[in-house]
Amino acid sequence: MDADRKGRREDTPRQRLQGELRELRQLRELRAREGSRMQRTESASSGPTRSRLDQPRTARPGFITLPTYDPEAFGKLSEKIARFLGTGRFIVWMTVVVIVWVGWNTLLPSDWRFDNYPFIFLTLMLSLQASYAAPLILLAQNRQDDRDRVNMEQDRARSDRNIADTEYLTREVAALRQGLGEVATRDFIRSELQALLKDLDGHRETSDLL
């Protein structure tokens, strides 16, 4: 009886450990099943085409492809047009075109006219010209502003370098002045030699008297 009791006492901790391990395994299995169910429900609700939030969306090719252009070439063209619009030649040609247009549609017979009074087509052409000229002029001004900004930055850097060079030169000149102040000059050497000669003459006179 005592041996059976001792065996039972020794087996009880093992049984407890085994029971706890079984419970842990069951909990893990239940959690795994719940996780798989949640994933299935999310995939079913979101659909197969839903992308992940932690990944960037890939660019889809559109049905209409926009034409590409060279910004530098377009900017140069806009500057040329803006320069031409700001010249007297453009004003003269514009005045000539308007005068010819108005004269053609007022003086010639009605069969030859294509834009009668009040010259609606001429007004449309002038408004189109103004609507295109304004953005081109603004684009040219923006390019000029960019160039001016770059030139200003370069001038500022150049002025900073010049200031640094002048400060360095002033320090060097001051150091040279200090060094020259300590160096014996010709006048100083001459005065010292004259003083030595006077001392020698004095010694000679004293020696002659003795």
- pLDDT at 96 (0 to 100): 92
Same domain, 85 and 135: yes
d(CA 88, CA 5): 121
48-82 exposure pattern, b = at least 16 Cβ within 10 A, e = fewer: eeeeeeeeeeeeeeeeeeeeeeeeeeebeebbebb
pLDDT digit string, tens, across residues 73-104: 878 888 888 888 888 888 899 899 899 988 88
Label residue 87 left, alpha or beta by phi (over 0 means left) and psi (-120 to 50 means alpha). Answer: beta
User: Is the preceding omega at residue 118 within 30 degrees of 0, hence cis?
Assistant: yes
Total domains in the fold of the chain: 2
Longest dimension (CA), the chain: 148
- pLDDT at 12 (0 to 100): 63
Structure tokens at 54: 């932690």
- The separation between the first and the last C-alpha atoms of the chain, rounded to the nearest angstrom, is 146
**Reported pTM:** 0.44
On the question of pLDDT at 54 being above 50, the answer is: yes
Same domain, 22 and 103: no
| Residue 143 within a domain | yes
Same domain, 158 and 77: yes
d(CA 143, CA 167): 36
Domain residues for 154?
A: 71-164
| Residue 186 within a domain | no
Average pLDDT, the chain: 77
Same domain, 118 and 156: yes
Say whether 137 sits in a helix, a strand or coil.
helix
Structure tokens at 137: 């002029």
Same domain, 25 and 76: no
pLDDT digit string, tens, across residues 142-179: 888 888 898 999 999 999 899 988 888 888 888 877 77
**H helices within the chain, ranges in order?**
2-46, 71-85, 88-107, 120-182, 186-209
